[in-house]
Structure 1
Amino acid sequence: MDAEAALRGVMTAIDEMRWEDLEGFLHPDFVCRLVHTGESFDRAEWIRFNRDYPGFEHLTIEEIVAGPTEAACRSHITGRDAAGAQHFECASFARMRDGLIVQLTEVWTEVEQQAPPGTRPAPK
């Protein structure tokens, strides 16, 4: 399978909560690194992390850019906690080996954050 099909398959399986299907897209040597927290997960840990994430509701693929062995995806994730709806954006970067995703790097952020004061040009 090519990189776009693999990454799209992973994102669709997550959205549809088909946790048992994830392993079919991931290489036995799979590692996912979360840049924003410094955590790394192997295949079984990453599947469990996604399956057990509290309050997850929906993942929408916003954009995928891909070549034969690498793909990048921007997605919007919604969830819910005691305070209500949560919205996140995620950038995922996948590398393939033997037709499966062997490396995934993800960067997550909450939606509607404010830029730090003094980091943007003054309005005209």
Structure 2
Amino acid sequence: MSAIDLLRQLGDVLDGHRWDDLPALLHPAFRGDYVHTGEQFGRDDFVRLNVEYPGFQRFRWEDLVDGGDRAAGRALVTGAADGQEQRFGVATFITVRDGLIAELTEVWTDVEQTPPSDRRPV
């Protein structure tokens, strides 16, 4: 399967909470990196993280880029904590090997962040 097709399918699996389908997308030697926290995950740990993530509700792609055996996407993720909706922006980059996601790098940020007050317009 192509990288862009795998990325689309990853979004569908996450959004649909179809956790049993997630391992089938990931290469046995899968490595996941979260740049924002410094965490690294193998295949089983990445699946477990997604299954157990508290309050997760929706995952929706907003932009996808096809790069052959690599693909990138920007998504909006919504969840809830303490009865309050939370929204996050996530950039996802994947590399495919043997028709499966072998590498995944993500960067997450809180959508409600405000720019520093001392930022000057360009």
TM-score normalised by the chain length of structure 2: 0.96
Q: CA RMSD in A?
A: 1.1
- Give how far 1:83 is off: 4.5
**Deviation by residue 1:24-69 (Cα, 9 ceiling, x = unmatched):** 1110010110000000000110011011000001111111101220
Find the aligned partners of 1:120 and 1:100 in 2 and give their Cα distance. Answer: 44
Deviating above 3 A after TM superposition, structure 1's stretches of 4 or more consecutive aligned residues are: none
Query: How far apart, CA to CA, are the structure 2 residues paired with 1:74 and 1:96?
Result: 18
What is the SS of the residue equivalent to 1:40? strand
The TM-score, its normalising length taken from structure 1, stands at: 0.94
Q: Which residue in 1 is equivalent to 2:64? A: 64
Unmatched tracts of structure 1, length 5 or more? none
Partner SS, residue 13 of structure 1: helix
Tell me the matched-pair count.
Answer: 122
Letter in 2 for 1:112: E
The whole-number CA distance in structure 1 between the counterparts of 2:113 and 2:82 is 20
- 2: CA distance, partners of 1:21 / 1:9: 10
Distance across 2 between alignment mates of 1:21 and 1:57: 17
Q: Which residue of 1 aligns with 2:117?
A: 117
Deviations 1:89-121 (A, max 9, x none): 100000011111100000000012111232322
Q: Distance in 1 between matches of 2:74 and 2:26?
A: 19
Aligned-partner Cα distance in 2 for 1:103–1:119? 35
Structure 2 unmatched ranges of 5 or more: none
